[in-house]
């Protein structure tokens, strides 16, 4: 079964940039939506936080469908991206910088998901 590549993946470099941007956008939507729900439930925020969080989380579910690969590889890779972006989110919004173990773990995860998602395979035309 071949994966259909949309027109934004004409070259490997463009495809790489396209997929990275989609992973980052999905991360912002998932973490941002979860954070809005967190603010509503844990911080006593307005009910509007819950509704906005639900909408943003819905958008998170849509973004990965634009990725030019298989579901399992997209979500496995996104899991690693999510870990790294969560550490960045905590650093930016909670003012909690990652420690050396966070950084080492994030690097290991990024290497792993890069192999999972970007390693060339015979069945894909990426």
Q: How buried is residue 35: exposed, middle or buried, by Cβ count under 10 Å (0-12/13-18/19+)? A: middle
Section 4-32 average pLDDT: 83
* 68 within some domain: yes
What is d(CA 37, CA 44) in angstroms, rounded to the nearest whole number?
10
3-state SS of 94-115? Answer: CCCCCCHHHHHHHHHHHHHHHH
In a domain, 1, yes or no: no
Given this model, what pLDDT does residue 7 score? 47
The vertex-77 CA angle with 72 and 41, nearest 5°, equals 95
Let me know if residue 124 belongs to a domain.
Answer: no
| Each residue's pLDDT tens digit, 32-77 | 999 999 999 999 999 999 999 999 999 999 999 999 989 999 999 9
**Across residues 78-85, what is the average pLDDT?**
95
Provide mean pLDDT across the span 70-86.
94
Determine, yes or no, domain membership for 33: yes
The domain total for the chain is 1
pLDDT digits (tens, 9 = 90+) for 100-125: 999 999 999 999 999 999 988 876 55
Please choose, from the candidates 123, 101, 125, the residue with its C-alpha nearest in 3D space to the C-alpha of residue 12.
125
Within a domain: 123 = no
In a domain, 96, yes or no: yes
Provide the pLDDT for residue 1.
43
Residue 80 CA to residue 118 CA, distance in Å, equals 13
Cβ atoms of 1 and 123 within 8 Å: the answer is: yes
Whether residue 2 lies inside any domain: the answer is: no
Q: In terms of residue numbers, what domain contains 23?
A: 10-118
């Amino acid at each position: 079964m071949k994966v259909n590549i949309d027109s934004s993946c004409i070259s490997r470099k463009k495809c790489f940039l396209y997929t990275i941007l989609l992973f980052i956008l999905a991360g912002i939507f998932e973490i941002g939506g979860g954070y809005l729900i967190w603010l509503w439930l844990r911080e006593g925020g307005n009910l509007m936080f819950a509704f906005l969080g639900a909408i943003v989380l819905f958008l998170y579910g849509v973004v990965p469908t634009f990725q030019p690969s298989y579901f399992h590889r997209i979500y496995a890779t996104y899991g690693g991206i999510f870990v790294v972006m969560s550490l960045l989110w905590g650093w930016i919004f909670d003012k909690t910088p990652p420690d050396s173990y966070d950084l080492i773990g994030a690097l290991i995860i990024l290497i792993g998901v890069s192999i999972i998602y970007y390693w060339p395979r015979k069945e894909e035309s990426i």
